């Protein structure tokens, strides 16, 4: 192309946009009148027509990337893969602290001990070289079956450098699911710890694809002998490392469109689904999320969220890019506060469950203090909240008098927090922001979007939403007429959240059927979540399209499956299992079999005037719940699939009372509304019980 023509085109495009800030990372773009037919600005987002000149104006993009979706880090376009990302970090932060742990070789706990980016780079090369030297082919699946620790990150870097596919394995799904994933992904090498090695050995004859097991933290003399017929080598991590140091191999760099990892989710049918994520997916996701954020090598991050989940995985990719020091927890969530006090992080990622506990703990402590201390806290809290709402800097006196003591709970230096995996109430988010004096942002996403599809924008004072689109994706809402959600809803458009862009996964591994179920012909990923657009282009999650939901700890629940199991309980005529992402446990509404319950009561010497009185008897409720537990154990329900509280009702679910469809399926939204008070009472009961 003629250079003068190219320059004219660039000037023409530039004429349609003007930056509001000279800083590229925080600049917002808007349209001038001549570009108005292509982009509408709505604060943090811009709105475009789905197809130029036709269709609805219903596609939302970040105002930071209105015309072209972000593919990577703007200042470093050469970073296209996870391998590129770590190479960049190792070169620029070679002598800086990178991975830290409190666990000593003898298992005792002490101060954090660190390795540098350079040292991690050397270990990465050694581990990858040992796999190459053992003839593990490029593209092979490598399993990681242990919780967060420095070796996890080093193995992941080795996979990226030598074009292997990392496959995280984790205990929550149970040994059967681990065995399924190993076989489904044809895992050839498994990195584990002594505890998980024993699980693997229990079904070693059923995983023929495995050639090598590497034990992290194991001693050479304790390695179990295996029959030679198995063809599996068991070796310690330290021995594999030393062998690789003696015979290093050149990198086998991946391409941007190569598979980086297969992340298996708990799924909805009992069989885990493997989400295939490419290198470009993870680079685009983290680059987009961090576009307006400020991390640097002086930051310290605590890693305790499971690395098998995408939230923590994406965080580590981002922290590595900016040279941040990553300290690992000691492996026990009950000792997390001790780890925080020792590490004193500046960046903290968590989930609503922990933030809710912190909130409840502070509120309870304030109430118990009473008198002057309670009044002082309330005065400080209200003053600081008012200042923040008005865009002013709160008086430092309140931190000195009240909030510095609270900040010490997280080590005293946290300046930035995020919340994800499930919704955090606006009340708790604002409370945390005020008490800890730092920014806390909430995001929305899933494994299939490589973590964040949206994130709150820095400086946005409104809570109760999940922010604007990640600059690497675009989002639209699709009408769900059967649930009365449409783009024409007033005052806000509503519908199923659909995502398209560079961070969206390529499908489920070896599962074209389920892949086709979530993608439409135009490449939009249908999330199953229902959202609405608030003013300024902010997304708010309001419902689920399917009868599938996520508990507060992030586990997916398919209630019909559980209800089918409980239908085998002798006391149950009908059952409605309920849960949501604000709570970590399921509860159940049970319409009882009248005669069976009455017969049981007589056998127990329990007298009641009628069935209505009997269903409210705590002894009857306990008996039904115990039988549900028995049936659930027989069906091998997972721990989080058990109902933890039950309400008995004498009235059946019928067409007449609006609780059943014509095909006798439970109308879940109507049942939720019908039993609102009972559900609230059960959760109140669970929250006040000693063990939750």
**What local confidence, expressed as pLDDT, does residue 9 receive?**
44
Residue 519 has what DSSP assignment? Answer: B
Contact 236, 220 (CB under 8 A): yes
**What local confidence, expressed as pLDDT, does residue 135 receive?**
97
- Going through 53-174 in order, the beta strands assigned E by DSSP cover 54-62, 97-103, 109-116, 141-145, 165-168
Contact 468, 455 (CB under 8 A): yes
- Going through 384-524 in order, the beta strands assigned E by DSSP cover 416-419, 439-446, 451-455, 468-469, 473-478, 494-501
**Sheet of 572-578, strand order:** 572-578, 586-592, 643-649
Is the backbone of residue 277 left (phi > 0), alpha (psi -120 to 50) or beta? beta
Please state whether the predicted TM-score (pTM) of the whole model is above 0.85: no
Residue 204 has what DSSP assignment? Answer: G
Residue appearing with tokens 């002594």: 194
**What local confidence, expressed as pLDDT, does residue 668 receive?**
86
Contact 278, 416 (CB under 8 A): no
Which parts of the chain have pLDDT scores under 50? 1, 3, 5-6, 8-37, 268-269, 691-692
Length of the chain: 692
- Cα distance between residue 117 and residue 674, in whole Å: 57
Contact 157, 124 (CB under 8 A): yes
pLDDT in tens, 630-671: 999 988 898 999 999 999 999 999 878 888 765 567 888 889
Contact 117, 98 (CB under 8 A): yes
Residues 6+ apart with CB under 8 A from 319: 295, 299, 301, 326, 347
Residues 6+ apart with CB under 8 A from 79: 72, 73, 85, 88, 283, 321
């Amino acid at each position: 192309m003629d250079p003068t023509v190219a320059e004219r085109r660039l000037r023409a495009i530039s004429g349609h946009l003007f930056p509001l800030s000279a800083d590229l990372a925080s600049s917002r773009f808007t349209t001038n009148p001549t570009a108005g037919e292509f982009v509408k600005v709505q604060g943090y987002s811009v709105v475009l027509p789905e197809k130029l000149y036709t269709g609805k104006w219903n596609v939302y993009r970040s105002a930071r990337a209105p015309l072209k979706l972000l593919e990577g880090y703007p200042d470093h376009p050469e970073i296209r893969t996870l391998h590129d990302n770590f190479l960049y970090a190792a070169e620029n932060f070679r002598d800086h602290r990178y991975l830290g742990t409190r666990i000593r070789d003898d298992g005792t706990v002490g101060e954090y001990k660190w390795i540098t980016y350079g040292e991690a780079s050397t270990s990465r090369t050694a581990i990858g070289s040992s796999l190459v030297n053992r003839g593990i082919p490029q593209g092979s699946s490598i399993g990681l079956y242990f919780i967060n620790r420095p070796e996890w990150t080093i193995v992941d870097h080795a996979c990226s450098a030598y074009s292997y596919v990392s496959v995280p394995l984790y205990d929550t799904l149970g040994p059967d699911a681990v065995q399924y994933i190993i076989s489904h992904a044809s895992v050839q090498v498994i990195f584990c710890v002594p505890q998980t090695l024993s699980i693997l050995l229990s079904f070693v004859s059923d995983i023929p694809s495995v050639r090598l097991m590497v034990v992290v933290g194991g001693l050479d003399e304790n390695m179990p002998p295996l029959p030679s017929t198995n063809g599996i080598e068991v070796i310690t991590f330290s021995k594999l490392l030393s062998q690789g140091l003696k015979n290093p191999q050149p990198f086998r760099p991946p391409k941007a469109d190569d598979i980086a990892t297969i992340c298996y989710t708990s799924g909805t049918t009992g069989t885990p689904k493997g989400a295939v994520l490419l290198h470009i997916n993870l680079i685009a996701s983290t680059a987009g999320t961090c576009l307006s954020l400020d991390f640097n090598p002086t930051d310290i991050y605590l890693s305790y969220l499971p690395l098998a989940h995408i939230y923590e995985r994406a965080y580590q990719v981002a922290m590595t890019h900016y040279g941040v020091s990553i300290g690992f927890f000691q492996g026990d969530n009950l000792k997390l506060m001790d780890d925080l006090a020792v590490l004193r992080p500046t960046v903290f990622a968590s989930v609503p469950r922990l933030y809710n506990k912190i909130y409840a703990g502070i509120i309870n402590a304030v109430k118990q203090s009473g008198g002057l201390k309670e009044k002082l806290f309330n005065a400080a809290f209200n003053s600081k909240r008012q200042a923040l709402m008005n865009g002013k800097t709160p008086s430092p006196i309140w931190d000195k008098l009240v909030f510095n003591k609270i900040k010490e709970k997280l080590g005293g230096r946290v300046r930035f927090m995020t919340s994800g995996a499930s919704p955090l109430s606006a009340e708790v988010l604002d409370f945390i922001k005020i008490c800890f004096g730092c920014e806390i942002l909430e995001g929305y996403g899933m494994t299939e979007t490589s973590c964040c599809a949206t994130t709150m924008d820095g400086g946005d004072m409104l809570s109760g939403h999940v922010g604007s689109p990640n600059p690497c994706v675009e989002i639209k809402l699709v009408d769900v007429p059967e649930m009365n959600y449409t783009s024409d809803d007033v005052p806000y458009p509503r519908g199923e959240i659909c995502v398209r862009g560079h961070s969206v996964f390529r499908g489920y591994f070896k599962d074209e059927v389920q892949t086709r179920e979530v993608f439409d012909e135009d490449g939009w990923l249908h999330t199953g979540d229902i959202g609405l657009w608030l003013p300024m282009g902010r997304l708010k999650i309001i419902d689920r399209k399917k009868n599938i939901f996520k508990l507060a700890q992030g586990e997916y629940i398919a209630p019909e499956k559980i209800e089918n199991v409980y239908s085998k309980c002798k006391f149950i005529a009908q059952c409605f299992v309920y849960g949501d992402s604000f709570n970590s446990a399921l509860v159940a509404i049970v319409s009882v079999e009248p005669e069976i319950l009455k017969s049981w009561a007589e056998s127990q010497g329990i007298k009641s005037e009628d069935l209505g009185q009997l269903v409210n008897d705590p002894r009857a409720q306990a008996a039904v719940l115990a039988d549900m537990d028995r049936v659930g154990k027989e069906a091998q329900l997972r721990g989080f699939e058990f109902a933890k509280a039950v309400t008995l009702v004498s009235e059946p679910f019928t067409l007449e009372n609006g609780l059943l469809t014509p095909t006798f399926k439970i109308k879940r939204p109507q049942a939720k509304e019908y039993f609102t008070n009972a559900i609230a009472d059960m959760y109140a009961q669970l929250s006040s019980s000693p063990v939750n």
